[in-house]
Structure 1
Amino acid sequence: MDIRSLSATTGYAAARPATKIDPEHTPTSAEARIKASFEDFTNTLQQSEQVSVTAMTGNGDPHALVQALAQTELAVETAVTVRNKVVEAYQEILRMPV
């Protein structure tokens, strides 16, 4: 047996290409919807930040600020709810008998 085959760095180097994105991969509709959801979440947070900065400098509309904050709150609450459901599902999987 060759001692080099037991090296952790060799194993890591061999597994590393598995973590890279396949350029020929075409996303499924579910993957596309999830990606769009993440992009919408990010856009909502960025727009709310811009409105907040504008309002703090005295140039913004207070009604726009309240609306942006409400949208951000809803987006964050939705993200937290989804995260909690994913964690619950993971915990259920861990409780399954082997």
Structure 2
Amino acid sequence: MAIQSITALAPSESLFKTDKAMQPTAYEAQQNFGNYLKEAINDLNSKQQTSDMMTEKLVRGDNVELHDVMIAAQKATITLNATMEVRNKVIEAYQEIIRMPV
């Protein structure tokens, strides 16, 4: 098995170019950010639903492993906590911007 040199993974100059044509407009950046938030919330929702579904199956006595239920519940909890922390940081940043003198 050959080991590749890490110098081949060095960042290229094209990554650091500030070409005006490559930069998105303010509207595009806003749309991209909005889409990112929608995807994150949809992911959170799907993990919560999966956790709820697996918990219901366990309560009904269906063929589901307890460790799978616990893993799904922990994934949902961690995702919810991360989402809440991001929300708190966004609110904190917004409040800081509002407090800035004009």
Q: TM-score range by the shorter chain?
A: 0.5 to 0.7
Residue matched to 2:71: 67
Gaps of 5+ in 1: 1-25
Report the secondary structure of 1:91's partner residue: helix
CA deviations on 1:40-65 (whole Å, 9 max, x unpaired) are: 11111111110111111222310111
TM-score (norm 2): 0.63
Shift of 1:94: 2.2
Q: Percent identity?
A: 30
Distance in 1 (CA, whole Å) between partners of 2:91 and 2:35 is 22
Instruction: Flag the 1:28–1:81 CA change in 2: closer, same or farther, 3 A.
Output: same
Residue matched to 1:92: 96
Residue matched to 2:87: 83
Specify which structure has the bigger relative contact order, considering alpha-carbon pairs within 8 angstroms and separated by 6 or more residues.
Answer: 2
Please, which of 43, 47, 65 is the counterpart of residue 44 of structure 1?
47
Gaps of 5+ in 2: 1-27
Shift of 1:29: 2.9
Report the secondary structure of 1:41's partner residue: helix
Computed over aligned residues only, the root mean square deviation of the Cα atoms, in angstroms, reads 1.8
Deviating above 3 A after TM superposition, structure 1's stretches of 4 or more consecutive aligned residues are none
Q: Which has the higher helix share?
A: 1
